[in-house]
Amino acid sequence: MESQRGNPYLRILRGQLEKYIDEQLGTDRLRTGKNQTELRRIKKEMAGLKKRLDELQARKTELEKEMKK
């Protein structure tokens, strides 16, 4: 997604689309869509972090068991 943000053509297109949505459907619709997208991205990142935390906790438990032997 970051590569699209850098493309000048896509930036212009995105700006025009946001202006159209704002005019046709209202600012609330555009804001709601952006908020939903951000919320989806945050939830995905949180799930990834939780998975990584679980992996680290399992490894920690393994190491602690080995050290007690």
Which pLDDT score, from 0 to 100, does residue 69 have? 76
> Pick from 13, 18, 11: which is nearest to 32 by CA?
18
* Rounded CA separation 39/27 (Å): 18
Q: Is the pLDDT of residue 39 over 70?
A: yes
Measuring CA to CA, which residue among 52, 32, 51 is closest to residue 40?
A: 32
pTM, 2 dp: 0.62
* 52-62 residue pLDDT tens: 999 999 999 99
